[in-house]
Structure 1
């Protein structure tokens, strides 16, 4: 059964509506509609004229309803212009009693969110009221007695604490969005944030350990999100974007703003466009000339974006992804790369073809300005912001959170402390560790329990609109709980050096033949096995999955035959001695991996003793010219590759010989022929004899073009 999703991207310049179908296989774009605002009813991503924006929304809705029937619910994203990111901390006295379940940890996290909210209010000089929605938070670290630790469950010490990073959105941003939707007779089905929408579809959680910046360059704002250490670490915005470039074009060529916007889009698409200024003069401008004329504006935009990235990240990220219509600004990727001191190939424009689980519709443009609308539809479904009213001890709470709301969220929002009570210990568990059976005692009783709509629940239980919460005494303890760390104890790790850094190689744990972490909780009848990695390949796998993938042989398939490219294979050294991946390591060993070059087509042919290029030398107007053409046709699926096209492991290539000869007109690809001062007719000669452009040529031929009056 396919589920239809209607989403709106309400931007500074236009409103884009997208209709997707969702099934088990993923998402498919069914239809879209984009309509520009009649006037500048939005500024820097914020709604300034609710009525005007509602009219544009209504036009988009009515256009889509012609083909898809009545639309009443919509997924939207709030602009990121007013996002405020703040760190928060909270502490809990343990008195050497371990934390036995996640409910206490949940309370600690939510207390840290409350601390962050108070800091925001103090920073904005707002007293006794918090006109902000918390749209999401991430735990940065847990601590026991000021020592960083992976999990607080079953840890002993005097004081437990946590540090979080939370993001807040002013209520006015959401309220104006709701007002515009209401005027267009639409109900908000789900909400996300613009930077989160694009981040969710372009950078999955498994990749967020990489330090990457995602920049959505729209018309009025450039929204920035930073990933690091497995989470979205920070959000930011600069009020400089595509309109800055449009205004520069308007000033340079004396164009009205709407005409400058149309001209900008045309020249990016066609590399040349005509413009008629306010005096009536028409001029044809090339892409190259435009880039030269507005370099200062492009540089200003790049500078503002990179300044915000440095502010949020403190250093250059490993890579930068650009989306949004403004990402097509000429030379913007190169300028950002230069200012961040990154290689040019580390800053790239991403379009909707990069969205996984999305079936592309051939009628839908793939350019980067469609990433956010599609991201809104997908992200709002995956991780929606819920907007609900909940009753807590007769108090009405209005909550608007990025993640699924829980009973614990309601307590923190209301500023209520929950007293914990413990019941009788739970039943024991029997487990097997490396073939030996062990009995574990049951855990203590749970903290104070809660009643949700008359049913006993916990603080991490999701709540919905209209729910009623009351506090009741906690339940008895559940079955025994213990972490792998507590069960196995401290195992002396092995220390090695890799990439000039010291690394600790810890044991590898398996529970029921599945990989596990030391802070995983053991269940009754679990079978536990663990061992200490000692071989190079196992150590590299633990240190870096990327490096582990790179140490594999570089194999491709050519015309159905497997070929290993030696130039792409890594070399391994332990204490400056070359070894193979199965080499045993010892404490203090220094590991060095020299990565092979990522091979290209020419490297492949060179290994086979072949030259990608076929060349001849001729003379043109007395000047010696070398002509080149590929000697082979190399294809990867339906894509024809060039000599410098990079190859990846597992590529399946088809290579055939190309025997095309050279013709006269090939020479014009290698010479600059100045026709600006030429007049009259011309005659083409080969070896002093009249010739035609399509005639074949041979090495040593003398070619000439002679002009006559």
Structure 2
């Protein structure tokens, strides 16, 4: 299959690295062509802290995905997370010189580009500028200002900020693994694309993605992203607590958590015991499942309460900002038994587990529809959308030529290029800036 027909998402997580290859089928669903997963050894709490190990893990995942699909991976869309990510609200405006002309894409782009010039703290860089509502000449609550008349164009923005060094390190790992960085996106946004429906985003929903090293939060209301946060705790701290509390090795603690773990201590009877083989000729250890779930419960409550503080910071208590669709849990940590009930108990909000199968073709492997792969599927969707934009631009160029019927071969190419440039989203432009930035950093 030619390179043009498939896209690749690469999820660089704290516990695992997933490379996922797919393409859009004729029904608009994502068909998975290959998947590769490797243990992540150089990432701590969502941030790369060992370049060599991370490169090795990326190469392993990529080779497995290539072996599975028989395809060659060259360009990938990568997610970024970690405790260095923060978000802020910002308002900005532009005064248009020609108010008698309608507002077009260039005006919106000019306004967004102005936000990119915001002065950040030393070592920080803007990752996303996401327009929320627009105002035209004081008229508020406009979702799409294109085509309207007005002299002053104003907007509220959700701005996501991250550390330059962390972004640069991710770029370095991709490059050193022999890949091109196609795009970079915030992981909670990728997960949200994979598991949330448009109705939920309209009604108001909080997506909680519990990964190995971090718990990511994305809040949507009226179809617009309203708040994002990254909490520096995830499934790994639960494993760590089990290891310490039961005096066992990490591998055993992880297995215990997955097989017998529960977030609700009342579920286990006092006489339910699991026996763990001792190390090197030592006596086996006996652990009661009640104690195990008490350890898990204590840490999960802490994580959920921190997330709930962020949901309240957004303003969930206000009638206008109420999240009617409640909470959607995803990520590997969401598979913990009775977690849904515990989250409902703490927050009082409706909760469901989010599976990324809504956008996958019907014949996809069941394993891929697990919450574990939500971010990877979201990144793949982002890669497919980017490819579709380029294809659309090409199609438009060809149609334009056919209409005129006078283009030479050279003009044909020029029009294509011009249209491609015109259709580039602000985010693609940011990606290009980032690529130049990474190249110069070598």
Category of TM-score, reference length = shorter chain = 0.7 to 0.9
Match of 1:144 in 2: 137
1:264 aligns with 2:257: yes
Stretch of structure 1 that moved more, 216-225 or 178-187: 178-187
In structure 2, C-alpha distance between the alignment counterparts of 1:363 and 1:153, rounded to whole Å: 45
TM-score by length of 2: 0.74
Match of 2:382 in 1: 379
Match of 2:77 in 1: 75
Distance 1:326 1:352, change over 3 A: same
Distance 1:277 1:246, change over 3 A: farther
Where 1:240 maps in the other structure, the secondary structure is coil
**How do 1:621-636 residues align onto structure 2 when only pairs under 5 Å count?**
none
Distance 1:147 1:203, change over 3 A: closer
1:350 aligns with 2:354: yes
1:162 aligns with 2:155: yes
Where 2:203 maps in the other structure, the secondary structure is coil
C-alpha deviation, 1:339, in angstroms: 2.4
**How do 1:491-510 residues align onto structure 2 when only pairs under 5 Å count?**
none
In structure 2, C-alpha distance between the alignment counterparts of 1:329 and 1:283, rounded to whole Å: 23
Q: Give yes or no for contact 1:267–1:286 (8 Å, CA) kept in 2.
A: no
1:305 aligns with 2:320: no
1:134 aligns with 2:127: yes
- For structure 1, the residue ranges without an aligned partner over 5 or more in a row are 387-403, 405-451, 468-709
Match of 1:56 in 2: 57
Q: Give yes or no for contact 2:207–2:328 (8 Å, CA) kept in 1.
A: yes
In structure 1, C-alpha distance between the alignment counterparts of 2:370 and 2:360, rounded to whole Å: 17
1:28 aligns with 2:31: yes
Distance 1:378 1:138, change over 3 A: same
TM-score by length of 1: 0.48
1:317 aligns with 2:323: yes
C-alpha deviation, 1:156, in angstroms: 5.7
C-alpha deviation, 1:233, in angstroms: 1.5
Where 2:233 maps in the other structure, the secondary structure is coil
Distance 1:4 1:211, change over 3 A: same
**How do 1:444-459 residues align onto structure 2 when only pairs under 5 Å count?**
none
1:337 aligns with 2:344: yes
> What do the CA deviations read for 1:231-251 (whole angstroms, capped 9, x no partner)?
111211100110121112112
1:14 aligns with 2:20: no
C-alpha deviation, 1:341, in angstroms: 2.2
C-alpha deviation, 1:255, in angstroms: 1.3
Distance 1:363 1:462, change over 3 A: closer
In structure 2, C-alpha distance between the alignment counterparts of 1:457 and 1:293, rounded to whole Å: 58
Q: RCO greater where, 1 or 2, for CA within 8 Å and sep 6 or more?
A: 2
In structure 2, C-alpha distance between the alignment counterparts of 1:108 and 1:228, rounded to whole Å: 25
> What do the CA deviations read for 1:552-606 (whole angstroms, capped 9, x no partner)?
xxxxxxxxxxxxxxxxxxxxxxxxxxxxxxxxxxxxxxxxxxxxxxxxxxxxxxx
**How do 1:463-542 residues align onto structure 2 when only pairs under 5 Å count?**
none
Match of 2:440 in 1: none
Distance 1:161 1:261, change over 3 A: same
In structure 1, C-alpha distance between the alignment counterparts of 2:139 and 2:72, rounded to whole Å: 57
Distance 1:112 1:250, change over 3 A: same
Distance 1:104 1:196, change over 3 A: closer
Match of 1:202 in 2: 195
Match of 2:171 in 1: 178
> What do the CA deviations read for 1:199-220 (whole angstroms, capped 9, x no partner)?
1122244542221011110011
- RMSD over aligned Cα atoms: 3.7
Distance 1:312 1:20, change over 3 A: same
**How do 1:263-662 residues align onto structure 2 when only pairs under 5 Å count?**
263-268=256-261, 274-276=275-277, 280-283=282-285, 285=287, 290-315=292-317, 317-318=323-324, 319-342=326-349, 346-353=350-357, 355-362=358-365, 364=367, 366-382=369-385, 461-462=423-424
Q: Decide which structure has the larger Cα Rg and report it.
A: 1
Distance 1:32 1:457, change over 3 A: closer
In structure 1, C-alpha distance between the alignment counterparts of 2:175 and 2:202, rounded to whole Å: 39
In structure 2, C-alpha distance between the alignment counterparts of 1:65 and 1:94, rounded to whole Å: 50
Aligned residues: 384
More helix by percentage: 2
Where 2:220 maps in the other structure, the secondary structure is strand
Q: Give yes or no for contact 1:88–1:114 (8 Å, CA) kept in 2.
A: no
Where 2:367 maps in the other structure, the secondary structure is coil
C-alpha deviation, 1:59, in angstroms: 1.7
Match of 1:193 in 2: 186
Q: Give yes or no for contact 2:81–2:186 (8 Å, CA) kept in 1.
A: yes
C-alpha deviation, 1:145, in angstroms: 3.9
In structure 2, C-alpha distance between the alignment counterparts of 1:194 and 1:272, rounded to whole Å: 38
C-alpha deviation, 1:307, in angstroms: 1.7
> What do the CA deviations read for 1:673-692 (whole angstroms, capped 9, x no partner)?
xxxxxxxxxxxxxxxxxxxx
In structure 2, C-alpha distance between the alignment counterparts of 1:149 and 1:64, rounded to whole Å: 44
In structure 2, C-alpha distance between the alignment counterparts of 1:21 and 1:91, rounded to whole Å: 39
In structure 1, C-alpha distance between the alignment counterparts of 2:245 and 2:304, rounded to whole Å: 19
C-alpha deviation, 1:222, in angstroms: 0.4
Q: Give yes or no for contact 2:103–2:150 (8 Å, CA) kept in 1.
A: no
Q: Give yes or no for contact 2:11–2:19 (8 Å, CA) kept in 1.
A: yes
C-alpha deviation, 1:197, in angstroms: 1.1
In structure 2, C-alpha distance between the alignment counterparts of 1:365 and 1:221, rounded to whole Å: 21
